Amino acid sequence: MSLGLVESFSEFKEFKNIDRATMMRVMEDVFRSMLRRKFGSDENFDIIINTESGDLEIFRNRRIVDDGEVEDDNLEISISEALKLEDDYEIGEEAIQEVQMEDFGRRAVLTARQTLLSRILELEKDEIYKKYKDRVGEIVVGEVYQIWKRELMILDDEGNELILPKTEMIPRDFFKKGDSIRAVVLRVEMNNNNPRIILSRTAPIFLERLFELEVPEILDGLITIKNVVREPGERAKVAVESYDDRIDPVGACVGMKGSRIHGIVRELRNENIDVINYTTNVPLYVQRALSPAKISSIQLNEEEKRADVYLPSDQVSLAIGKGGHNIKLAGKLVGYNIDVYRESVNEDDMDVDLDEFTDEIDEWIIDELKAIGLDTAKSVLEVDNEDLVRRTELEEETIIEIKKIFEAEFE
């Protein structure tokens, strides 16, 4: 029975998040509980646990009294009984007697083992919860261990289980078992007394932490990231500010020939990242946020947090961006609802370059039109359909569709 507890202790020593002192305290609490149940009190018992071998010794201390004067069997022992333990004991001394595991009975020992295991497991869970609660917002590296329909199980370097939901993965993410993965700790939950650590690769804080890893000036406090907005896997905008006039924050974040930002872009599955200089000048901030579009003028309504932006007609598509990502992210970055308008120009002079329609028209179709010298929307509209069918590889249905798109642009 004693061996069972020793074996249990060997198992408990494998728990990685619990320090030895805590382990000793829990074990002693369990054994003292056993003593209270059997003897009514644990005050006159010493418990010694060998932290290396797991050997356990329990000693009972009782005052020696004359025969027939024992009032409390747990606290006192008669001289005749004491002499059986040591032949040189005298009345008034303290007799020390070792308590054997067999004295408790098999059922009590098994119960103690189960209680010990439960207590240690609870402590283990609490320690994991505390550890990761303090790491929310930090990047962790783990190995893909299990792939399910809605989430991945990741193991960290200590074997703790972390969860990466599919909703927190970049659309182009693809992992298989054994792959190394980087993600940020998004939140920590307790589910039925079990800690559940949720990771994310889509949260803006993940991009922010990647910049901290790649750009030493951010870690040193010379450059501050003021805001990050993302459409995961598509586009991101990062506003940065430098406290040192000698440091160009955008240049430092991008690196020589893009050396610093390339690693981040690869990690985020080729997400386009715009790094801009932060400013408290709202019109200038809006202008930078809508980059690469060139703005003519801006009208702000600070009460409604709205910005009306006027641009040349050939810049409208650039400002909106593919799928509307550019204008949406710019609005989130500056905290304003942004509406774009074409400048008032002579309608006859207004035209749009074909490259502005790449989000609506396949590039090979645009290349077909360019090949016969048509570079703008109006130049295509001026040529009749039969002529376009004859001069290009395009079908009449395709030409009708693209002309509808061009006409809508000028309405």
Query: Domain 212-254+263-278 is of which CATH architecture?
Result: 2-Layer Sandwich (3.30)
> Which tens digits make up the pLDDT trace of 72-100?
888 888 988 888 888 888 888 899 988 88
Q: What is the mean pLDDT of residues 265-287?
A: 94
For the chain, give the percent of residues with pLDDT over 90.
Answer: 41
> Is there a contact between 120 and 12 (Cβ–Cβ < 8 Å)?
yes
Token code pair at residue 350? 């207004």
Predicted confidence band of residue 327 (pLDDT cuts 50, 70, 90): very high
Structure confidence at residue 323 (pLDDT)? 83
Structure confidence at residue 113 (pLDDT)? 78
Structure confidence at residue 3 (pLDDT)? 45
> Which tens digits make up the pLDDT trace of 49-78?
776 665 678 898 999 899 888 888 888 889
Helices 106-133 and 20-39 cross at an angle (nearest 10°) of 150
- 283 upstream amide cis, omega within 30 of 0: no
From the list 86, 321, 371, 327, the residue with the least C-alpha distance to 77 is: 86
The distance in angstroms from the start CA to the end CA of the chain is 89
Token code pair at residue 25? 């305290």
CATH of the domain spanning 281-339? 3.30.300.20
> Which tens digits make up the pLDDT trace of 114-164?
887 788 788 888 888 999 999 999 999 999 999 999 999 999 988 899 999
pTM: 0.67
Segment among 20-29, 35-44, 65-74 with least mean pLDDT: 20-29
What integer best gives the mean pLDDT of the chain? 86
CATH class of 135-202: mainly beta
Structure confidence at residue 149 (pLDDT)? 92
Predicted confidence band of residue 180 (pLDDT cuts 50, 70, 90): very high
CA distance 112 to 30: 6
CATH superfamily, region 2-130:
NusA, N-terminal domain (3.30.1480.10)
